[in-house]
Structure 1
Amino acid sequence: MPTAPSDTAVTHFLREFWLALGGQIRYLDHLQISGEGALASVFPVTDFATAAIAAAHLAMGELIDQAHGSLPLITVDRRLASFWFSTSLQPQGWSLPAQWDAVAGDYRTADGWIRLHTNAPHHRQAALAVLQTAPERDAVSQAVLRWQASELESAVVAHQGCAAEMRSAAAWREHPQGRAVAAEPLLHRTDPPVGPASAGKGSPPSSSRPEWRVPRERPLHGIRVLDLTRILAGPVATRFLAGFGADVLRIDPPGWDEPGTVPEVVLGKRCARLDLRDPADRAVLEGLISEADVMIHGYRADALARLGLGAERRRALNPGLVDVSLNAYGWSGPWRERRGFDSLVQMSCGIADAGMVAAGSDRPVPLPVQALDHATGYLMAAAAVRGLTERMNNGQGVKVQASLARTALSLMSFAATEAQPSALQPLNPGDYSADIEHTAWGPALRLKPAGQIDGTPTKWDLPANALGSADARWL
């Protein structure tokens, strides 16, 4: 890899990611990093973004190499990588709704700070029920001031809501959940039981489907990806896979919407709805699982098991499935089933506190982008591609688990010792694709891809479409 002012951090993260994925170090020699500048943060967020996107592209390069015997050169632009970790979409003549509802945000408590995540109506209702106040920011602020942070966090969570006390990194290391996460690998891989392969070499899991040939220009053409994820890491993963030709089918429950983020993350996907509490719809999902190549899901630990779709059932339905899942706070410890989002994990694990201290601020200072979500999403995409590469060679599926809290530890593990790079140059019209994307909400421009693979362009066959706009079936 070429030398650049922040190559130390990029190399640190990339090696960690690639080794966690099980990749061979020799592939790193086929990667080039270009561009200058960095997002302003106490943590090397731009280097983190660059390494995560690079890892996903390296996995795709490895697949091409295994299928065609030639490893292409891969280039990642650190400037574009930074902006892809924010938003890739520029609406033309229309606007995205606000990312956060009126109640969501950081609040001062009697002894510290807490973040309330209230974008989903039921999460907002849970917080307001605990605080016994109107859904107005000033009223919420006054109510929160009467609480100790840890007590309010526990109360909101007990009401099935989402909240996180701001803790320091030292406090998180001593916390039972912090200790549990620290003991987990960055990516936890479980290979299938030793036994006959579910399919022949190079075959998808369903014997009724043709053999997968890995086209050079569209390596994932013919691959079916079942997307059971919502904000934000899982959708980033499946968007990446769609960019290389995968048939991505996203499933959401009736009534669910993410107006501020859906146009950003459903690029290249078909979006359908199923009510998994309904036996008929659950049967449809089982059929989709049985015919999928990859399943990426972000349900809390054991949530699918309670629906009768735990890991053993998924394996029984489809022994060749590449099964990639996400949890917010890790897969062990007392918080393994706790609801969580990027902004909450930043508060819990010490990122927001470190930012506050470094900035000399009197309130939490989070990362400039939701880097935990995006980085974890690219790692999940890389895990899916590596799983497909291995299945191409041995016919077996694999299960891989990731978590936002464990990704956070990776970011926090690197202490920058060099001077910070210069600021990123603002986006300009040349950074966007020349083609207009006709989304369901109106015309828009998309950023050019941050990663380039020689001979394998990233392109999405479908524009961003509304949730529930397609049927729950494979093409």
Structure 2
Amino acid sequence: MTNPGGAQDTATTQAWQSIGGAPELTERVAYRGAGAVLPATLPVRELARATVGACSLAAAELLSARGGQPVPEVNVEEGAVATSFVSERHLLVDGRAPTPFAPLSGFWRAADGWVRTHANYPHHRARLLAALELDEGTGPEGLAARVASTPAREVQDAVYAEGGLAVAVAPAPGGNGEPGAPGGFRAAGLPLAEAAALGPDGGRRLAEGDIGLPASGARVLDLTRVIAGPVATRTLALLGADVLRVDSPWLEEDPDSHTDTGMGKRSTLLDLGTAEGRSTFEALLDSADVVVAGYRPGGLDAHGLAAEELVARRPGLVVAQLCAWGWSGPWAGRRGFDSLVQAASGIAAIEAGPEGRPGALPAQALDHGTGYLLAAGVLRALTDRQRDGRGRRLRFSLAGTAGWLMNDVVRVPAEGGGYDPADWLTESPSAYGGLRHALPPVSYAGGPEGWAHASTRWGGDPATWR
């Protein structure tokens, strides 16, 4: 193990301090190298291990705050980190490998550059085709021909106006972090995390003493979809929280994505537009400790789920919010995914191949990194609440993580070698069949080695706490 000693590993210190952690505690974080894993032009390995290291330290700190013992040492295996950051690629369901991207998701050459689309969900595919005036049965060749005759920004604007997902691929940013073309999306300067204490002492604290796992007894309402948020809540479940994912019955989830990120959690369906669904949700909220929301800014406000409103109704509540493009600016209200943020921020251009085709990071690192950082923020908020009883609002964005990666994460020489992802995979039974899946990378002395159970069936659990 190598111990970066806080200032010797700036990414760990930056991640930890972004969620309000005391910088001297990073001296307790050590990493075991696995060679040059997650290779890229940008320092992806360093981002990945720092976010997992910060999450592991936050778990150790909360365990100390509740149990009255010193903060345990944190020892993170970079092999486990690298494997978990591509957990969706290692997943096998009864021997079947999921398909990560749909045929109409990807890079397409436009009349004056490139466009990145995301059409994994049927409603996004339908909106993409409608925006470009293409038939429902259009395949990759038809989409390619249509985009090739249209300027990239025109494709982007038309698809977003229709409620679909497409971005013009931005040139690499300049040396000052500014986008390489006028009017492009700007990730530089966005905060990695935002945290604010809200409300008075609500008297809400978790039990103390011999608790076993740091988040034991914490109740988490999981209102997230698609990798980053589910990775965060999957991690909270690993650490002992009772995590209940709540989805609308009108918006189906990809079963493979749920199988990968639903470990340790339960899943239920509630229609908040009905009196019965709303009443059930309010009953859950009345005894929740944490709400994690992964919808774009304002997306849940119509249901009375704005952070300030939630904490006013339930003093001491921790509300963690996640979005794609940041919490202010002209892009804030847009839908987005990791691949689109990579394209619009300039990461795809930085990672381009020698022939100029846009590239991608070796993992959906913005998703996974933000997910571990969000979990770390929740754990730190619970630690702070043990001391002052106050609620917290936390905010994270994929774009904030992108800006951090491009401008602030410092490369560290790789150590170790002989990485084999098989060392960090295991098998578990589930409602979907036998699974091969990645082990959790979050680790501290005496910490859990795996989840209490594999993913339950999406929407198949009762809307009650354990």
Which residue does the alignment assign to 1:322? Answer: 318
1:432 corresponds to 2:425: yes
Q: Give the counterpart of 2:192 among 186, 191, 197.
A: 186
Which residue does the alignment assign to 1:260? Answer: 256
Which residue does the alignment assign to 2:125? Answer: 124
How far did residue 426 of structure 1 move? 2.9
Which residue does the alignment assign to 2:303? Answer: 307
Secondary structure, in 3 states, of the residue corresponding to 1:172? coil
Which residue does the alignment assign to 1:207? Answer: none
Q: Give the counterpart of 2:142 among 124, 139, 143.
A: 139
Which residue does the alignment assign to 1:473? Answer: 464
Indicate if the aligned counterparts of 2:111 and 2:151 stay in contact, CA closer than 8 A. yes
Distance (whole Å) between structure 2 residues aligned to residue 424 and residue 172 of structure 1: 38
Which residue does the alignment assign to 2:397? Answer: 403
Segment of structure 1 superposing worse, 372-381 or 463-472:
463-472
Q: Report the residue type matching 2:239 in the other structure.
A: F
Q: Structure 1, residues 123-177: CA drift from partner, whole Å, max 9, x if none?
A: 1111101112233000010011111001110110010111111002246277667
Show the 5 A alignment for 1:44-443: 44-67=43-66, 68-87=68-87, 89-91=90-92, 93-134=94-135, 135-168=138-171, 169-170=173-174, 172=179, 178-179=185-186, 181-193=187-199, 195=200, 197-199=201-203, 203-204=204-205, 212-213=207-208, 215-254=210-249, 255-356=251-352, 359-414=353-408, 425-428=419-422, 430-433=423-426, 436-443=427-434
How far did residue 258 of structure 1 move? 1.4
Secondary structure, in 3 states, of the residue corresponding to 1:284? helix
Distance (whole Å) between structure 1 residues aligned to residue 62 and residue 411 of structure 2: 36
Distance (whole Å) between structure 1 residues aligned to residue 144 and residue 409 of structure 2: 35
How far did residue 221 of structure 1 move? 1.5
Indicate if the aligned counterparts of 2:11 and 2:409 stay in contact, CA closer than 8 A. no
Secondary structure, in 3 states, of the residue corresponding to 2:282? helix
Secondary structure, in 3 states, of the residue corresponding to 1:99? coil
Residue segments in structure 1 that go unaligned for 5+ positions in a row: 205-210
Q: Report the residue type matching 1:76 in the other structure.
A: V
Q: CA RMSD in A?
A: 2.4
Q: Report the residue type matching 1:20 in the other structure.
A: S
How far did residue 228 of structure 1 move? 0.3
1:25 corresponds to 2:23: yes
Query: Is the alpha carbon distance of 1:113 and 1:27 closer, same or farther for their aligned partners in structure 2, counting shifts above 3 Å?
Result: same
Indicate if the aligned counterparts of 2:55 and 2:442 stay in contact, CA closer than 8 A. no
Which residue does the alignment assign to 1:16? Answer: 14
How far did residue 438 of structure 1 move? 0.8
Which residue does the alignment assign to 2:444? Answer: 453
For normalisation by structure 2, the TM-score amounts to 0.92
Q: Structure 1, residues 198-237: CA drift from partner, whole Å, max 9, x if none?
A: 11xxx44xxxxxx522645322121101100000100000
Distance (whole Å) between structure 1 residues aligned to residue 54 and residue 103 of structure 2: 37
Distance (whole Å) between structure 2 residues aligned to residue 364 and residue 76 of structure 1: 32
Indicate if the aligned counterparts of 2:103 and 2:139 stay in contact, CA closer than 8 A. yes
Segment of structure 1 superposing worse, 441-450 or 68-77:
441-450
Distance (whole Å) between structure 2 residues aligned to residue 240 and residue 159 of structure 1: 35
Distance (whole Å) between structure 2 residues aligned to residue 289 and residue 471 of structure 1: 15
Q: Report the residue type matching 1:107 in the other structure.
A: W
Indicate if the aligned counterparts of 2:46 and 2:410 stay in contact, CA closer than 8 A. no
How many residue pairs get aligned? The number is 456
- The percent identity for this pair of structures is 35
Q: Report the residue type matching 1:400 in the other structure.
A: L
Distance (whole Å) between structure 1 residues aligned to residue 463 and residue 228 of structure 2: 22
Q: Structure 1, residues 296-316: CA drift from partner, whole Å, max 9, x if none?
A: 111110111122322232123
Residue segments in structure 2 that go unaligned for 5+ positions in a row: none
How far did residue 36 of structure 1 move? 2.4
